[in-house]
Structure 1
Amino acid sequence: MPLYTITMQDGTLAGEAKATLAAELTNFHAEYAGVPKDWVHIVFQDYAAGSGFTAGRVAPCVGLTLLIRSGRSSEYKRAMLRRIWDIVQDATGAAEDQIVLGIQEVPASQAMEMGKIMPDVADQGAS
């Protein structure tokens, strides 16, 4: 169920670099959360140069939103964010003030994948 949405300025990463970043995030998430790799989904959304802003000024910012099932501890999510930050910064070379990450949670009862309602994290130990 994890869905990573990565938004960045067009040209920040070429196709091969996106594939490498996707593989790195997939491997990390599968290992960290203990889920099969085929549960991890990653979508890149590129925006035109001049369409990203930080502090009201044009900037090539990188945003990543991760949608996961609720039920993980704050410590778990903080550690996850730190590792994702490193992966994204290494891949994009973006400055620290140009990266924004966030985790959104949804109750398992409100998530579907492969035609099935997702199990609770507590029931399965997966994210």
Structure 2
Amino acid sequence: MPLYTVTTQSGVLNAKGKAELAQQLTSLHSGYAGVPRNWVHVIFQDYAAGSGFTAGLQAAPAALTLVIRDGRSADYKRELLKRLWSLLQAATGAADDQIVIGIQELPASQAMEMAAIMPDVNREPPSQPA
């Protein structure tokens, strides 16, 4: 269920950089949340140079949005944000004032994975196909 969308200016992350960041995000989320690696999805979106702005001025901000099932504590999410910040900053080289990260939550009953409605966070994940 975790769905990461990473948005950067074209050229900030090449194919290798995207693959490395996707692996890092997958490892972090799988280990931290205790979910199977195949539940973690990462999508990259690039925008053209001149299409990014911060404070109304042309810039190259890096953004990461994460959609997860609700039910995690505020402390859990704060720690996750800190870890995600470090990964995104290391991958992009963006300054603190050029990074934005947000977590969006939705009820497990409103998400599907592998043709099944997702379990609540407090329940065991469904068994994985062999």
Range into which the TM-score falls when normalised by the shorter chain: over 0.9
Task: Find the counterpart in structure 2 of residue 77 from structure 1.
Answer: 77
- Structure 2 Cα separation of the partners of residues 23 and 122 of structure 1: 25
**CA deviation vs aligned residue, 1:43-90 (integer Å, no higher than 9, x gap):** 000000000000000100000000000000000000000000000001
Matching residue's letter, 1:89 = Q
- Structure 2 Cα separation of the partners of residues 102 and 34 of structure 1: 20
Structure 1 gap ranges (5+): none
TM-score, normalized by length of structure 1?
A: 0.97
- Structure 1 Cα separation of the partners of residues 97 and 16 of structure 2: 25
Question: Stretches of 4+ moved more than 3 A in 1?
Answer: none
Task: Find the counterpart in structure 2 of residue 26 from structure 1.
Answer: 26
Cα displacement (A) at 1:122: 1.2
Cα displacement (A) at 1:123: 1.5
Structure 2 gap ranges (5+): 126-130
Higher relative contact order (CA 8 A, sep 6+): 1
Cα displacement (A) at 1:40: 0.3
Matched, 1:2 2:2: yes
Pairwise mapping of residues 16-55 of structure 1 onto structure 2 (< 5 A)? 16-55=16-55
Task: Find the counterpart in structure 2 of residue 109 from structure 1.
Answer: 109
Matched, 1:15 2:15: yes
Between the two proteins, what is the percent identity of the paired residues? 63
Matching residue's letter, 1:3 = L
Aligned CA RMSD, in angstroms, stands at 0.8
Select the structure that is richer in helix: 1
SS of the residue corresponding to residue 21 of structure 2 reads: helix
- Structure 1 Cα separation of the partners of residues 21 and 109 of structure 2: 30
- Structure 1 Cα separation of the partners of residues 72 and 103 of structure 2: 11
Aligned residues, how many?
125
- Structure 2 Cα separation of the partners of residues 51 and 5 of structure 1: 18
